Amino acid sequence: MDSDFFIVNGTLVTESSLVPNASLHIKYGKVEKISGSQANLGRDAVKVDVDGAYVSPGFIDLHVHGTGGYDSTDATRVGLSGLREALLPYGVTTVVPTLLSSPANLTHTFLNAVRSEASVNERGAKVAGAHLEGPFLNASERGVHLEENLRAPSVEVFNEFADGYRGLIKIMTLAPELDGALAVIRECKSAGIVASIGHTNATYAEARAGIEAGISHSAHTFNAMSRLQARDPGTVGAVLSSDTVYAEVIADGIHVHPSNVNLLIKLKGTARTILVTDAVKPAGTKAKEFEMGGIEAAVRDGALLTPEGTLCGSILTMDRAIRNVHSWTNLSIPEVIRMASLNPARQIGIAKTTGSLVEGKDADIVILDKQLNVKATYVRGIQRFGEANRENQTK
């Protein structure tokens, strides 16, 4: 593919609307210009005609452990490189690989691999940084996190995990009710790390104290957190009533009922809801049994379950999440796609370069058919997935 070309005859998905018959000039990996006409492209211009398909910003997954048989918990560059490529057919152009609660030495190995992959421009989705899910979690809501890997929160232990990786760690999920957690939340905030509430049994008051200390994110909202009750709104109530907290949701129809997804979006708005997959390595494969970080699980009726019946991540892909939410709600296509692109970009501070199709930003683009299936994926203007568009290239 040329480094200077045009995507033409597309329906552009902007932050708030659909623009038919749009033309995007892609030059050296950036969106050079957006226009509504092909009249001035020039006879020798290289054009990719998408025949009316949606031209969408690339998707950003802030919470994903694996896909396509690859697993971030093995903490190797091979696993992360494979994950980056495995996400392309689902429209993901930026990923934040996520690690379960792990010992400090394995966490450092993982972070070093993330740092190395973040510097590589070839192959798959861009790596924006790391998400540490733990180790400061409440054992009563630990899900599949191994109890021996949980730690009591303190600034000293936080530094044991984070020293040398500030700027690389984008999100840390923790339980604010644990002794010492509020100090860690404040440390996250000062280090530019998004403090995320999750795997928590916090009361409403404890969750609110965490938010006041600096929590601005909710991990897989409704799952692994104290429920909404009449006399204690719990973590769910604190998240839903906050004007500052972004809320992740796993929209697979298994982790959260579609009506609760609808409720979440109505209360948080499309500007503070973020679609994530929380996918693990069987996603995108036909595998029925797997092991991840010492945890064994199996796929049963679309759910990933341990032998004890605990949910163990998902086999959701981002394009499927978008199709699900679009079918469950009365939201427009731009509103749904915003929750998988601009919102996560803003949350981790990368919206100046990606998350929407704006002149000057990276040309991270997904071509979607009218049923919102991925036809092609471009990362920094290079087509990394999809063959159909190559047949439509003309000069």
19-34 pLDDT per residue, tens: 999 999 999 999 999 9
State how beta strands 70-71 and 66-67 pair: antiparallel
Q: What is the distance between the terminal CA atoms of the chain, rounded to a whole angstrom?
A: 12
Please name each of the domains of the chain with its CATH number: 4-56+355-394 (2.30.40.10), 59-347 (3.20.20.140)
| pLDDT beyond 50 at 391 | no
The region that residue 96 occupies, defined by phi over 0 for left and psi between -120 and 50 for alpha, beta otherwise, is beta
pLDDT of 183 > 50? The answer is yes
pLDDT in the model for residue 151: 97
Which are the catalytic amino acids?
A: 278
Q: Mind listing the pLDDT tens digit for each residue in 99-147?
A: 999 999 999 999 999 999 999 887 899 999 999 999 999 999 999 999 9
